[in-house]
Amino acid sequence: MDGASAFKILDAFVDAGLNFIDTADIYSTWVPGHHGGESETIIGKWLKRSGKRSKIVLATKVGMQMPAGKGLKKSYVFQAVEDSLRRLETDHIDLYQSHEDDPSTPLDETLGAFGELIKQGKVRAIGASNYSADRLAEALKVSKQHGVPSYQCLQPKYNLYERAEYEAALEPLILKEGIGVIPYYGLASGFLTGKYRTESDASKSARGPGVVKKYLNERGVRILDALDQVAKEHDSTPGKVALAWLIARPGITAPIASATSVEQVQDLLDATKLELDQASIEALNEVSA
């Protein structure tokens, strides 16, 4: 979306009392004509114009393919962080995340580079995104062995529909190690809001066909039915219930969801205030297991 529309949403988000904004250097390379950095640039212009930098926890990522390179080698991380700081028009990033694992670079090299950025005041804390349990555990071990900063949080794909991969190995690890979790696709690309219930609903947005193909099956319908029921009991909506379910999960710090209108920001705020009873949580657990 354009800057003016984004500014309204970001203003509404912060004015509502919410404060965590997550982006990445590669956003939004999938849009025709984009090369990455567009999201950071819009957020940076908003930060400069609004003066609200101190009111937010700003997170971005490094490691995926950009025109200037990719990976987590020290030299590239140093280059990428300067590019992100320039686009974001800020002097520090609150949470800097490895966007994906880079098996070709030793973990101590990457973590050491992050350590130098923390000493310089350019980064406050670090996190890992899209890491397997084995690699995250290895990274935590390397941090202890080498005396370098450790990943404070994990950003995995996790929602009411996509549970198995995260819960099998990552959840036990983060609970044992006390790692924060900020799952992305909290609403399964909008499917869990209930707006994609038939093949014809696919035309409602550009991502619609993909969402319907991936999620609209027997299990997906069962999950939507359960969300409808719980939403009715709590005078709420399926999307708010899906996010409230995530918030209630053990170890979850804050689910990430996108908003493309000021009205959707209100939905996000409502979700943070919705406390599900145990019976509702168990019903959702069972139908989505």
Catalytic residue among 27, 131, 151, 166: 27
pLDDT of residue 187: 95
This prediction has a pTM of 0.95
**Residues of each domain in the chain carrying CATH 3.20.20.100:** 1-155
Q: Hey, what are 28's tokens?
A: 């939004």
CATH for 1-155? 3.20.20.100
pLDDT of residue 207: 80
Does the annotation count 27 as an active-site position?
yes
Length of the chain counted residue by residue: 289
Residues with pLDDT less than 50, the chain = none
pLDDT of residue 267: 93
SS3 157: strand
Q: Of 222, 223, 200, 224, which is closest to residue 212 (Cα–Cα)? A: 200
DSSP code at position 269: H
DSSP code at position 252: B
Per-residue pLDDT reduced to its tens digit, 129-143: 999 999 999 999 999
**What would the DSSP string read from start to end of 17-81?**
T--EEE--TTTTTTSTT--S-HHHHHHHHHHHHH--GGG-EEEEEE-S-BTTB-S--HHHHHHHH
181 phi and psi, to 5 degrees?
Answer: -130, 125
SS3 117: helix
pLDDT of residue 143: 98
pLDDT of residue 1: 82
